[in-house]
Amino acid sequence: MASVLIPVVYIIIVFGGLFVFGQFYKKRTAIKQFEPYFPRHIDRDVYVTLLQRSPPTPDPLLKAALVRRAVADVNRIIRLREDKPALQNLLQKGSIGDDLWNSLLAAEKELEAEIMEVVAEANSFVEGWGQIIFSTASEMIANEKTRAVFDTIPEERIKNEAKYPRKKYFDEQPASPTPPSAKSPSTPVPSTSPKSPNNLAPPPSAGAESTFSSDGEGSPRTPSTPSKSSKKSKKRK
């Protein structure tokens, strides 16, 4: 009988100790303050400070501060989306501890509450603004990235020119003599005489004479052709 009770007591002690340890670990984990995943939200503090000023802050300034707060939230959302899969993979491999993963989860929950608060504040200014404020913040981030790229173009150009100097091709090559200009072929001068339809000049009229009248005006007159009777008399002779 005693041989049966000893293993049972041993199993009860082992499982009881594991249960007590699990409960103690859960309570300690819940009480433990994790190191924040993100630094202090300065843009949120600025907006809250402007909102609580004794002379009321103008609405344009409050709207600008709220947009900057939304821009900071979008940057944090992008970072969480990029870091979460990598940290999850490292956690599965055992490369990182649970503290960093729990810190990321806490930051994710805090960011969800922050987004809801920003949407409510935006709707308090203009109804429906909360639906588009984060899209506006995303466009501002894309514009800032594009501007940063354009600002670095002169520096990158100087670095590339220093690293890859241009070859002075024209300075090294001797100047080649300029070839003499080829004479253009002489163009034929068009004839001013009238031409026939087949581009051939008409033959000059043989024996053409012109007679003028007594008053100085003349009209060309063709020579008289011999009649048929005169031709027959000549043949008889």
pLDDT per residue as tens digits for the range 14-53: 888 888 877 776 766 555 566 889 999 999 999 999 999 8
Selection from 59, 18, 64, 12 nearest residue 43 by Cα: 64
For the residues 214-225, what does the mean pLDDT come to? 44
The residue type at 186: S
Residue 100 exposure: Cα atoms within 13 Å on the Cβ side: 14
Q: What is the pTM of this model?
A: 0.56
- For the chain, the structural domain boundaries read 10-163
What per-residue confidence (pLDDT) applies to 221?
45
Largest Cα–Cα separation, the chain: 182
Give the tens place of pLDDT for each residue, 76-97: 999 999 999 999 999 898 888 8
Is residue 180 within 8 Å of residue 188, measured between CB atoms?
Answer: no
What per-residue confidence (pLDDT) applies to 124?
93
Number of other residues whose CB lies within 10 A of the CB of residue 119: 16
